[in-house]
């Protein structure tokens, strides 16, 4: 039989899908043709199947290298559900478990083996790898090999050494969700891919709605969102543990089904909270960026960033955890000026990675500052947000997507020269010594303790813009910062200085214009976005199927979406299959899952009918 036809048949048999998604077929064929292969696809696009499926078809073992320990367990559980034998090797196993699994692996028990990069050169692991036929080494999260990437891991540099220790060179395949041009080149060069097939699918996630808000009170905006989206599951990302605690406590006190996750909690509690989230016991998760690697909960309906993250790579990855099921989902960033300073602080004090020397560190810091700047631009741009992200990743994008906060807002170009001159003038006249808030307070004419202490109420510019709101002054100041009229020092007590373009404003040679939103009425926008939500047919049946799914999930100790995704359940509600044949038509129902669950689900559907 034609090998590619066989792939389609196995796709249905093991995974329950009728057809390949964009890019999958090309990547799978390339691997089956014996070629090195590099796939760059956004989160949720379906990378796993690109190596799992050929992994099943090829003679020998497929080794999957991934840094995401929590992902390994889930992936192996999902493989098992599909009827495929897999195992994983990482620091979460006890020495006894590790040895036992290795012995089984040596006997050829597993088709697909996940391993953490630190383990590769470990003696026993290497022994195993040398004693079996390794058909393919798959490098997941391949951007980790590159110092240009946002998540450089020196242990990834050992992969090549590992491969060279094998008696036969296997096929090497690599996958990542985020790669700029430099990172792509690094992956090919550092992993020494040989004439690889390189495929980048579109990065656009059309079902995600993007917006940036700059609220005076972030908490009330968040609360309002949750109140208007009851029963939805989502993640709220905060920059610090302290803020995670605060936000989570407040929401819990107000009765929300919320849990939390950050590196300061015990392993036990983290696991518990993560499970509560995945099993929808507590559908709202407040977390630092420590949460989410490898979580592929399919029904995440929103990702709200309570703070601006450190770069676009992180943002798109975190936001991308929404809407994996292909349903409409919201990605909202709540920007505050302080977020920039907190991130700057993190960059300056980051000494975590001990494998990196001082020179490299300085270089990485420099790049981190650039990335932070681009992230800040995202929060201030009045152009299409999707377009901004896509062009950051080197992809062409139309100027208008029609499904982001900016595309749905009307802007008008305003002349802000007078306000700009006063802000810049104030910075100049008080010797470039103060931060943004103090300058805004001065120009606005506020009477704060600091204003009195620095005698700013005697400054020439004091109160000149008292007819404008602080919010407006902040917008203009942000615009001046982004366009090099003003600059902010990088240290902790970030101070405003005159930028290269300040002179022309003070000399009255130039005017400044910026786009200002005509109507910024977030409540209205949200109402609009809510309408597009897809509905479930036969909601009571859906509920019954969910309960059944939960029962199976509990007895098998796997997350519910590993049994069936929401999408599969919704399809069952819509088509109401009557027999095995029809059930197997439902997307996500493969033979192995049918054997385990098919009858039980058919039974519930019959009862409902």
Q: Which is nearer to ligand ADP, 78 or 163 (CB)?
A: 78
Structure tokens belonging to residue 297: 């909960």
Closest CA to 160 of 200, 184, 190: 190
Residues that bind Zn ion (rule: CB under 5 A) add up to a total of 5
What is the smallest separation between the CB atom of 42 and ligand ADP, expressed in angstroms? 7
User: How far is Cα 16 from Cα 588, in angstroms, rounded to an integer?
Assistant: 4
Our finding on whether 17 is near ligand ADP (CB under 6 A) is yes
Biggest alpha carbon distance in the chain? 87
Instruction: Write the DSSP assignment of 485-536 as a string of letters.
Output: SEEE-SSTT--EEE-TTHHHHHTT----EEEEES---HHHHHHHHHHTPPPP
Pick the piece of the chain touching Zn ion (CB under 5 A) from 127-135, 220-228, 281-289, 378-386: 378-386
Helix 358-380 and helix 337-349: axis angle, to 10°? 170
Q: Which is nearer to ligand ADP, 317 or 419 (CB)?
A: 317
What is the smallest separation between the CB atom of 588 and ligand ADP, expressed in angstroms? 7
Pick the piece of the chain touching ligand ADP (CB under 6 A) from 16-24, 533-541, 548-556, 574-582: 16-24
Q: Which of 49, 120, 171, 248 binds ligand ADP (CB under 6 A)?
A: 49
Pick the piece of the chain touching ligand ADP (CB under 6 A) from 36-44, 307-315, 341-349, 389-397: 36-44
**E strand map for 325-369:** 329-334
User: How far is Cα 32 from Cα 51, in angstroms, rounded to an integer?
Assistant: 10
Tell which positions 389-428 bind Zn ion, by CB under 5 A. Answer: 401, 404, 407
User: How far is Cα 350 from Cα 40, in angstroms, rounded to an integer?
Assistant: 28
What is the smallest separation between the CB atom of 203 and Zn ion, expressed in angstroms? 14
Residues that bind ligand ADP (rule: CB under 6 A) add up to a total of 17
Our finding on whether 138 is near ligand ADP (CB under 6 A) is no
Closest CA to 573 of 531, 533, 608, 534: 608
Residues in the chain: 609
Q: Give me the 529-568 binding string for ligand ADP, x by CB under 6 A, dash otherwise.
A: ------------------------------------x---
Residue 510 φ then ψ, to 5°: -135, 150
Our finding on whether 569 is near Zn ion (CB under 5 A) is no
Name the residue with the smallest CB distance to ligand ADP: 46
Our finding on whether 298 is near ligand ADP (CB under 6 A) is yes
Pick the piece of the chain touching ligand ADP (CB under 6 A) from 18-26, 155-163, 266-274, 427-435: 18-26
What is the smallest separation between the CB atom of 175 and ligand ADP, expressed in angstroms? 7
423 binds, among ligand ADP, Zn ion, none (CB under 5 to 8 A by kind): none
205 binds, among Zn ion, ligand ADP, none (CB under 5 to 8 A by kind): none
What is the smallest separation between the CB atom of 196 and ligand ADP, expressed in angstroms? 18
Q: Which is nearer to ligand ADP, 68 or 284 (CB)?
A: 68
What is the smallest separation between the CB atom of 199 and ligand ADP, expressed in angstroms? 13
Our finding on whether 21 is near ligand ADP (CB under 6 A) is yes
Contact 536, 467 (CB under 8 A): no
Contact 316, 291 (CB under 8 A): no
559 binds, among ligand ADP, Zn ion, none (CB under 5 to 8 A by kind): none
Q: Which is nearer to ligand ADP, 324 or 371 (CB)?
A: 324
Contacting residues for 56 by C-beta, under 8 A, at least 6 apart: 10, 14, 84, 111, 112
Our finding on whether 293 is near ligand ADP (CB under 6 A) is no
Q: Which of 14, 20, 114, 335 binds ligand ADP (CB under 6 A)?
A: 20
What is the smallest separation between the CB atom of 209 and Zn ion, expressed in angstroms? 9
User: How far is Cα 317 from Cα 208, in angstroms, rounded to an integer?
Assistant: 12
User: How far is Cα 420 from Cα 486, in angstroms, rounded to an integer?
Assistant: 10
Strand partners, 259: 285
Closest CA to 87 of 97, 101, 99: 101
What is the smallest separation between the CB atom of 400 and Zn ion, expressed in angstroms? 6
401 binds, among Zn ion, ligand ADP, none (CB under 5 to 8 A by kind): Zn ion
What is the smallest separation between the CB atom of 463 and ligand ADP, expressed in angstroms? 54
User: How far is Cα 189 from Cα 163, in angstroms, rounded to an integer?
Assistant: 14
Structure tokens belonging to residue 447: 């009477």
Q: What is the 3-state secondary structure (H, E, C) of 8-37?
A: HHHHHHHHCCCCCCCCHHHHHHHHHCCCCE
Q: Which of 37, 43, 138, 307 binds ligand ADP (CB under 6 A)?
A: 43
Our finding on whether 317 is near ligand ADP (CB under 6 A) is no
Q: Which of 74, 276, 296, 478 binds ligand ADP (CB under 6 A)?
A: 296
Helices marked H in 196-240 — which ranges? 218-228
User: How far is Cα 164 from Cα 137, in angstroms, rounded to an integer?
Assistant: 12
Q: Kindly tell me the sign of the dihedral angle through the C-alpha atoms of 289, 290, 295, 301.
A: negative
407 binds, among ligand ADP, Zn ion, none (CB under 5 to 8 A by kind): Zn ion
* Residue ranges binding Zn ion (CB under 5 A): 384, 386, 401, 404, 407
* Residue ranges binding ligand ADP (CB under 6 A): 17, 20-21, 24, 41, 43-49, 296, 298, 324, 565, 587
């Amino acid at each position: 039989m034609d090998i590619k036809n066989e792939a389609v048949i196995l796709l249905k048999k093991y995974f329950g899908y009728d057809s390949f998604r964009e890019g999958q077929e090309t990547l799978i064929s390339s691997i089956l043709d014996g070629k090195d292969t590099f796939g760059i696809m956004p989160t949720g696009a379906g990378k796993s199947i690109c190596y799992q499926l050929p992994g099943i078809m090829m003679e020998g073992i497929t080794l999957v290298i991934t840094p995401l320990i929590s992902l390994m367990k889930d992936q192996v559980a999902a493989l098992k559900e599909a009827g495929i034998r897999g195992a994983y090797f990482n620091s979460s196993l006890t020495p006894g478990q590790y040895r036992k699994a290795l012995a089984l692996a040596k006997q050829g028990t597993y088709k697909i083996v996940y391993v953490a990069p630190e383990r590769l050169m470990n003696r026993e692991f290497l022994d195993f790898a040398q004693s079996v036929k390794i058909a393919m080494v798959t490098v997941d999260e391949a951007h980790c090999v590159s110092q240009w990437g946002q998540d450089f891991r020196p242990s990834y540099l050992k992969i090549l050494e590992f491969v060279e220790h094998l008696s036969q060179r296997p096929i090497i395949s690599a996958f990542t969700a985020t790669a700029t041009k430099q990172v792509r080149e690094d992956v090919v060069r550092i992993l020494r891919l040989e004439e690889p097939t390189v495929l980048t699918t579109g990065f656009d996630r059309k079902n995600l709605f993007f917006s940036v808000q700059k609220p005076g009170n972030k908490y009330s905006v968040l609360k309002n969102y949750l109140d208007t989206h009851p029963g939805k599951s989502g993640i709220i990302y905060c920059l610090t543990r302290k803020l995670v605690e605060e936000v989570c406590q407040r929401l819990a006190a107000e009765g929300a089904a919320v849990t939390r996750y950050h590196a300061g909690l015990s392993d036990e509690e983290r696991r518990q909270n993560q499970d509560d989230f995945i099993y929808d016991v507590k559908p709202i998760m407040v977390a630092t960026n420590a949460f989410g690697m490898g979580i592929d909960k399919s029904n995440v309906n929103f990702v709200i960033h309570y703070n601006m993250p450190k770069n676009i790579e992180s943002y798109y990855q975190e936001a991308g955890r929404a809407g994996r099921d292909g349903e409409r989902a919201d990605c909202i960033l709540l920007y505050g000026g302080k977020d920039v300073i907190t991130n700057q602080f993190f960059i300056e004090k980051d000494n975590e990675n001990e494998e990196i020397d001082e020179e490299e560190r300085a270089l990485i810091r420099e790049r981190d500052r650039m990335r932070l700047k681009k992230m800040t631009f995202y929060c201030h741009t009045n152009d299409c947000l999707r377009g901004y992200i896509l062009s950051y990743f080197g992809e062409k994008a139309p100027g208008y997507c029609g499904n982001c906060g900016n595309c749905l807002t009307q802007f008008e170009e305003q002349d802000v020269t007078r306000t700009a001159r006063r802000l810049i003038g104030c910075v100049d006249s008080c010797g470039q010594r103060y931060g943004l808030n103090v300058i805004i307070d001065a120009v606005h004419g506020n009477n704060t303790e600091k204003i009195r202490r620095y005698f700013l109420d005697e400054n020439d510019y004091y109160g000149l813009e008292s007819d404008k709101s602080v919010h407006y002054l902040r917008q203009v100041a942000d615009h001046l910062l982004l366009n090099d009229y003003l600059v902010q020092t990088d240290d902790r007590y970030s101070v405003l200085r005159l930028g290269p373009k300040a002179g022309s404003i003070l000399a009255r040679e130039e005017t400044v214009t910026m786009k200002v939103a005509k109507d910024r009425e977030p409540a209205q926008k949200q109402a609009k976005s809510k309408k597009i939500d897809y509905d479930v047919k036969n909601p009571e049946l859906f509920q019954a199927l969910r309960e059944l799914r939960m029962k199976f999930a509990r007895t098998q100790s796997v997350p519910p979406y590993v049994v069936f995704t929401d999408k599969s359940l919704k399809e069952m509600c819509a088509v109401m299959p009557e027999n095995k044949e029809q059930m197997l038509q439902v997307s996500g129902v493969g033979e192995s899952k049918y054997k385990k669950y098919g009858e039980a689900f058919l039974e519930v559907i019959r009862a409902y009918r």
